[in-house]
Structure 1
Amino acid sequence: MRPSETMEKGNHTVTEFILVGFTQDPVMQLVLFVLFLMVYSVTVVGNIALIILICTDSRLHTPMYFFIGNLSFLDLWYSSVYTPNNIVTCVSSDKSISFAGCLAQFFFSAGLGYSECFLLTAMAYDRYMAISNPLLYAQAMSSRLCVGLVTVSYLGGFVNSTIITSETFTLTFCGDNVIDDFFCDLPPLVKLACDVKASYHIVLYFLLASNVLTPIVFILTSYLFIIVAILRIRSTQGQLKAFSTCSSHLISVTLYYGSILYIYYRPSSSYSLEQDKIVSLFYTVVFPMLNPMIYSLRNKDVKEALKKLFKMTTS
C-alpha cells in the first residue's frame, strides 16, 4: 500500500484513497469475486425483469406497482455504485480509488440511499390509503400524486446528498489515506479527516435525522393507522388479505432501516469494523438483490404477469 505516495507533503491533500476491502487472502478474494459477480447478475436481471413486467402488463399499472418499479430502479443503480468496483478490486492488485471517484461514489450512494428512504415512506402512505379507503384508493392515489411523491423522493435524496457530499469532501484529509472498508462510506472518511468541526457534526446529525429518523416516524405512523384500519375489518380472512398487501413493504422497511440504524445509530462502545463491513454489505449489495424476490414471490399479480410473459416469449 502507498499512503505516503498519495499525499502532497506541503498541504497534505489526498489525491486518492486505498480501499482495503474484506481480505488480502488471494483464495478468498477469488471466492468473493465469484459471489459478487453472481449477486450482481441476479440483482440486474431481477430488477430489470420486474421493471419490464410492471411496464408491459396492464394489471400492474396501479400506484403500488408504480412505486415498486421505482424501487427496483433505485436498487438497480444503488447496487451498481458498489458491486462492479468490488468485483474489480477482488481480482486487481490496485486497490486505489481516486479522490474524484470516491466523491462520485459517495454522492450517488448517498443520493440513491436517501431517495430510497423517502420512497419507502411514500409506499407506506400508499399502503395506508389502499387499506383505509379501498373504494377511493384509485382516486386518492392519482397519477399526479404518485409522480409527485416519486419526484420529491428523488429530489430530496439528491439535494441532501449534495449537502453532505460538499460538507464531507471539503474536509482536510491528512495522514493516512487507507479506508478499511470496501467503499467510500461516511464513518471511515470522517475518521481520516483532521479538521472535523462541531458545525459539521450538526449538519451530519440533521441530515441523518431528516433522511432516516423522520421517514421512520412517518412509516411507523402509517402502520399504526394501517393496524387500526385492519382491526376494523370484521372478517379474519379480510384482515389477512389486507395485511398481505403491505407485508412485502414491511419486510423491505425492516431489512433496510434495520441495517442502516445498526451502522449509524448504535452506541460507539459496540463499534466493530468487521461487523460494520458485513452489515454494510447487506444493505448495499444483498438488499437490492432481495427486493425483487420479496415483491414477486409474495405477490400473486406479479407471478401471473411473469407466467404470461414467459408464455409469450416461449410461444
Structure 2
Amino acid sequence: MNQTQVTEFVLLSFSRGRPFLFALFLAVYLATLLGNSAILCVVCLDPQLHSPMYLFLGHLSCLDLCYSSVTVPQVLAGARAAQASISLRGCLAQALALMWLAGAECALLALMACDRVAAVCQPLRYGRLLPPRRCLAAAAGCWLWGLLDSALHTALAARLSFCAPARLQHIFCDVPPLLAAACSDTRPNRLALHVCSVFVGLAPFLLVLVSYLCILVTILRMPLATSRRKAFSTCSAHLLVVTLFFVAANLNYNRPSSGYSPAADTLVSALFCIATPMLNPLIYSLRNRQVWGALRRALRAGGAPGPAGLA
C-alpha cells in the first residue's frame, strides 16, 4: 500500500443487511430523541424537578442527544449509500465529539453518584451541600473535562499517516478504528488512550463504587424497611445506567489490539454510542415516579412552562 495524502475514508461495515440496519438504527435514533427530549423538557419546565438530581439528569439527557446526533445520521447515510465514506476532517471531528461526550458522561455519572451520597447520607444538609450555583459549575466542569481529554486524543490522531486506499472497519469514526487504519506508529496514541482511561474512566468509576458503598452502609443502618426501600429505589436507576455505560466504554476504548473481529468491534461501539443513549431515559423513567408524574402534568397542561429557577 502507498502512504499518500488521504482525504477520505471508506467505511466497510455495511456489506449486508442495509435496509434492515437502516430501519433498526432509525427506530433507535427516534426513540433516543423522543425519550431524552421528553426528560430534558420536563426537567426544564416542571418546578418540582428543579433539584440537583434532576439538573444532572437533564445534562445526561443532553449528552445522550448529542451522542446520537453525532453518530446515527452518519450511520443512516452509510446504510443508504452504495459505498459509505467520510472525509478525514469529518472523521477527526466525529472522533473529537465522541471522546468529548464520553469523557463528560464519565464525570457526570460520578457527580450524580456524589449527589446520591449527599441525598441519602446527609439528607438534612443536602440543600446546603449542593446549592444551584455549585451544581451548575460542577456540570460545566464535566463538559470541560471531556473536551480536554478529547482534544488530546484528536491532536495525536491528526498526526497519523494513513495508507491509500484508506478503509475503516467500522460504521462511524472513533479513535480505536482510526488507530487500526494508521500506517504510522500508533504507540503514543495507544499509551495516551490507556493512561487517560485511568483518569477519565477508571477514576470516576471507582468514585461511583465508593459512593455506593457509603450509601449501602447508610441504608443498612436505617431502622425502617420502607426507608430502606425508598433509598434503594432512588439509587437503583443511576447504578444500572453507570454499570451499562462503564462496561460498554471499557470494551470500546480498552479492547485488546488483537482478537476482536470487525463485527465484534461494531457491535460494542453500537452498544456504547447508539443503544446506551436510548436506554438511559427508559431506565430513569421506568424507575422514577417523579419523572412519570412530571410527564403526565406536562401532557395535561399542554407543555406549558412552569416558573423559572431551581427550587
TM-score class, shorter-chain normalisation, is: over 0.9
Which residue does the alignment assign to 2:167? 178
Equivalent in the alignment of 2:226: 237
1:143 to 132, 146, 160: 132
Correspondence 1:19 to 2:11: yes
Match of 1:165 in 2: 154
2:309 match: none
Q: What is the alpha-carbon distance in structure 2 between the residues aligned to residue 253 and residue 278 of structure 1? A: 19
Task: Please give the residue correspondences for 1:32-181 in structure 2 after superposition, counting only pairs within 5 Å.
Answer: 32-181=21-170
TM-superposed deviation, 1:201: 3.2
User: Hey, what's the Cα distance between the residues in 1 that align with 2:41 and 2:87?
Assistant: 35
Following superposition, the deviation at residue 268 of structure 1 comes to 4.9
**Residues 1:282 and 2:271 aligned together:** yes
- Give the partner amino acid of 1:240: R
Seen in structure 2, the aligned counterparts of structure 1 residues 147 and 292 have a Cα distance that, compared at 3 Å, is same
Query: Greater CA deviation, 173-182 or 192-201?
Result: 192-201
1:272 to partner: Cα distance: 3.1
Question: Which portions of structure 1, spanning 4 or more consecutive aligned residues, are displaced by more than 4 angstroms?
Answer: 266-270
Output the TM-score relative to the length of structure 1. Answer: 0.92
Could you give the per-residue CA deviations for residues 107-128 of structure 1, whole angstroms, max 9, x where no partner exists?
0011011101110010010011
**In structure 1, C-alpha distance between the alignment counterparts of 2:155 and 2:124, rounded to whole Å:** 46
Tell me, what secondary structure is at the counterpart of 2:86?
A: strand
- 1:274 to partner: Cα distance: 1.5
Task: Report the secondary structure of 2:302's partner residue.
Answer: helix
Greater shift in the superposed pair: 186-195 or 158-167? 186-195
The runs of 5 or more residues in structure 2 that have no matched partner are 305-311
Structure 2 Cα separation of the partners of residues 227 and 52 of structure 1:
32
Deviation at 1:48, TM superposition (A): 1.0
Q: Structure 1 residues 94, 198: CA separation in 2 closer, same or farther (over 3 Å shift)?
A: closer
RCO higher in structure (CA 8 A, sep ≥6): 2
| Partners of 1:201 and 1:44 in 2: CA distance | 33
Q: CA 1:176–1:221 in 2, change beyond 3 Å: closer, same or farther?
A: farther
Q: How many residues align?
A: 304
Task: Please state how far the C-alpha of 1:87 moved relative to its aligned partner.
Answer: 0.9
5 Å-filtered alignment, 1:290-309, equals 290-309=279-298
Deviations 1:174-197 (A, max 9, x none): 244111111112222112222225
Per-residue CA deviation, residues 121-170 of structure 1 (Å, 9 max, x unaligned), is 10010011100001111111111221121111000000110011001121
The 1:90/1:313 distance shift into structure 2, 3 A limit, reads same
Q: Percent identity?
A: 40
Residue 237 of structure 1: SS of its match in structure 2? helix
Letter in 2 for 1:171: L
Tell me how far apart the structure 2 counterparts of residues 277 and 197 of structure 1 sit (CA, whole Å): 21
- For residue 251 of structure 1, report the CA deviation from its aligned partner: 0.7
Are the counterparts in 2 of residues 40 and 83 from structure 1 also a CA contact under 8 Å? yes
Match of 1:258 in 2: 247
- Deviation of 1:69 after TM superposition, in Å, equals 0.3
User: Secondary structure at 1:233's aligned position in 2?
Assistant: coil
Instruction: Report the alpha carbon displacement of residue 262 of structure 1 after superposing the two structures with TM.
Output: 2.3
Match for residue 190 of structure 2 among 183, 190, 201: 201
Residue 4 of structure 2 aligns to which amino acid in structure 1?
H
Q: Residue by residue, what CA displacement relative to the aligned partner does 1:248-287 show, whole Å, maximum 9, x if unpaired?
A: 1001001111112223335556423322211211111111
Structure 2 residue corresponding to 1:213, chosen from 190, 195, 202 = 202
Q: Classify the secondary structure of the residue corresponding to 2:9.
A: strand
Tell me how far apart the structure 1 counterparts of residues 90 and 255 of structure 2 sit (CA, whole Å): 29
RMSD: 1.8
Partners of 2:252 and 2:272 within 8 A in 1: no
Q: Counterparts of 1:30 and 1:198 in 2: how far apart (Å)? A: 38
